[in-house]
């Protein structure tokens, strides 16, 4: 038989590329087995781990999950999500910083589901979606899966965002397409840890409002807030929402909210897409189309994850416990980030602008070569297109302190 014979429809035929994050992670695990955990810096996975390499979970969230009755564990959820979850998830996202807009939420399996719904429902076949040139790879996967493409802009200039590059790329797309979806992952961006500043938000939104004066255009801004609970105080991490109040009707803001990092329910697949719209009609339209997409893609999300979040936001004692537990994790992460950044400065290792979060990225010319050289020294970090992603979320403070000098040798 012909080994090249294929049954797959043409649009789904793609080159098979191994997942670089999980691939590098596996190599790191092999090295740990061979040389011992202490001898290996496994900085590959984007999940928070303790100093012994074990995933950390919010104890209260896990206890509550284990205590759920069968009816909450095994039953379906409504297609759009449990009603009390849909209120709770908005509270969890905005934390008192909801701007003056009409909001609705639809439950999705993680933030990933929210991104998928935005791409499918708010762009047309063949459209380009605008994202930063440092980006989480699934944005491209999701766009291409749906017959869309990505367009990137240079994210950084000096120690901040290259707002001019953003405006240039956005204007071009707005001129070329009737509708434009822009996805910005902030605060605590993956892979660089950058958070868009107050001044940059002012410029971005001033520009988008100006562009929206052309009533023939439809602009959709999705803010992917997957790491929002690891980006400083509630105030610091949510203040930017104020820029989304009183929007014109042809400028819609969507947020992709995730229960993976902030509530350590990675595998429970909890999240939501939330809209901030100029009119109630637009918000209801959003709810209808995203509910329809839920039905078409996965029917409904994980009820247990929704139940936990809804319960946490109903019970002040439970809420305070979860908050306090997360603070411990934030302190752990901040100490690691600080250690890495201090050493990077000492040894003169240049990193992308960093503010908060799970990752720090080192720009370099040949990331694969740098990554391979470091593997020989038992340091495993993920090669990206323009740099190396180091994940302080996954390694101890001590290892974060020694890594910059090792990396510096090869960049």
Ligand X SMILES: Cc1ncc(COP(=O)(O)O)c(C=O)c1O
C-beta of 193 vs 367, nearer to ligand X: 193
Least separation in angstroms between CB 357 and ligand X: 9
Query: How far apart are alpha carbons 216 and 250 in whole angstroms?
Result: 8
Query: How far apart are alpha carbons 273 and 103 in whole angstroms?
Result: 10
C-beta of 82 vs 114, nearer to ligand X: 114
Least separation in angstroms between CB 38 and ligand X: 27
C-beta of 218 vs 336, nearer to ligand X: 336
Is the CB of residue 24 less than 8 Å from the CB of residue 380? yes
Least separation in angstroms between CB 377 and ligand X: 27
C-beta of 218 vs 307, nearer to ligand X: 307
C-beta of 186 vs 396, nearer to ligand X: 186
C-beta of 174 vs 188, nearer to ligand X: 188
Least separation in angstroms between CB 62 and ligand X: 17
In the sheet with 379-383, reading across from the earlier edge strand, the strands are: 41-43, 379-383, 387-390, 360-363
C-beta of 106 vs 282, nearer to ligand X: 106
CB atoms within 10 A of CB 331: 10
C-beta of 212 vs 273, nearer to ligand X: 273
C-beta of 131 vs 180, nearer to ligand X: 131
Query: How far apart are alpha carbons 364 and 367 in whole angstroms?
Result: 6
Which H or E run includes 19? Answer: none
First-last CA distance in the chain: 48
Query: Measured at the alpha carbon of residue 66, what is the angle toward residues 62 and 67, in degrees to the nearest 5?
Result: 115
- The half-sphere exposure of 153 on its side-chain side, counting CA atoms within 13 A, is 23
Nearest to 219 by CA among 186, 246, 183: 183
Least separation in angstroms between CB 255 and ligand X: 11
Least separation in angstroms between CB 329 and ligand X: 16
Least separation in angstroms between CB 256 and ligand X: 6
Q: Are strands 41-43 and 379-383 parallel, antiparallel or unpaired?
A: parallel
Is the CB of residue 330 less than 8 Å from the CB of residue 230? yes
CB atoms within 10 A of CB 269: 19
Least separation in angstroms between CB 131 and ligand X: 10
Nearest residue to ligand X by CB is 110
Positions touching ligand X (CB under 6 A) are: 46, 110-112, 136, 185, 190, 224, 226, 258, 260, 266, 271
Least separation in angstroms between CB 92 and ligand X: 13
Cα 164 to chain centroid, rounded: 23
Packing angle between helix 397-408 and helix 316-347, nearest 10 degrees? 30
Is the CB of residue 393 less than 8 Å from the CB of residue 48? yes
Which H or E run includes 256? Answer: strand 251-258
């Amino acid at each position: 038989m012909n080994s090249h014979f294929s049954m797959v429809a043409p649009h789904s035929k793609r080159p098979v590329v191994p997942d670089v994050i999980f691939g590098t992670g596996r190599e790191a695990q092999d090295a740990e087995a061979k040389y011992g955990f202490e001898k290996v810096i496994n900085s590959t996975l984007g999940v928070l781990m303790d100093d012994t390499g074990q995933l950390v979970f919010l104890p209260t969230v896990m206890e509550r999950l284990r205590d759920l009755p069968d009816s909450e564990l095994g039953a379906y959820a409504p297609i759009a999500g449990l009603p009390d979850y849909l209120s709770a998830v908005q509270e969890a996202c905005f934390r008192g910083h909801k701007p003056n807009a009409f909001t609705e939420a639809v439950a999705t399996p993680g933030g990933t589901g929210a991104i998928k719904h935005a791409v499918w429902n708010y762009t047309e076949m063949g459209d380009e979606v605008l994202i930063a040139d440092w980006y989480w790879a699934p944005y491209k996967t999701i766009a291409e899966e749906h017959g869309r493409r990505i367009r990137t802009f240079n994210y950084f200039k000096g120690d901040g965002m290259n707002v001019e590059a953003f405006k240039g790329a956005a204007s071009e797309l707005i001129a070329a397409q009737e509708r434009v979806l822009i996805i910005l992952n902030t605060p605590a961006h993956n892979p660089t840890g950058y958070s868009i500043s107050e001044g940059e938000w002012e410029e971005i939104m001033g520009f988008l409002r100006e562009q929206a004066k052309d009533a023939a255009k439809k602009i959709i801004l999705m803010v992917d807030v997957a790491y929002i609970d690891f980006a400083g105080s509630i105030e610091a991490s949510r203040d930017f929402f104020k820029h989304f109040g009183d929007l014109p009707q042809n400028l819609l803001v969507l947020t992709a909210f995730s229960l993976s990092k902030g509530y350590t329910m990675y595998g429970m697949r909890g999240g939501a897409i939330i809209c901030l719209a100029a009119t109630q009609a637009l918000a209801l339209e959003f709810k209808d189309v995203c509910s329809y997409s839920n039905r078409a893609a996965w029917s409904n999300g994980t009820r247990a994850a929704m139940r936990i979040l809804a319960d946490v936001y109903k019970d002040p004692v439970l809420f305070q416990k979860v908050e306090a537990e997360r603070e411990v994790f934030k302190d752990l992460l901040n100490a690691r980030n600080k250690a890495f950044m201090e050493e990077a400065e000492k040894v003169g290792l240049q990193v992308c602008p960093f503010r908060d979060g799970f990752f720090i990225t080192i720009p370099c010319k040949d990331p694969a070569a740098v990554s391979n050289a470091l593997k020989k020294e038992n340091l495993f970090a993920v090669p990206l297109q323009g740099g190396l992603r180091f994940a302080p979320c996954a390694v101890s403070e001590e290892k974060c302190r020694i890594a910059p000098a090792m990396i510096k040798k090869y960049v």
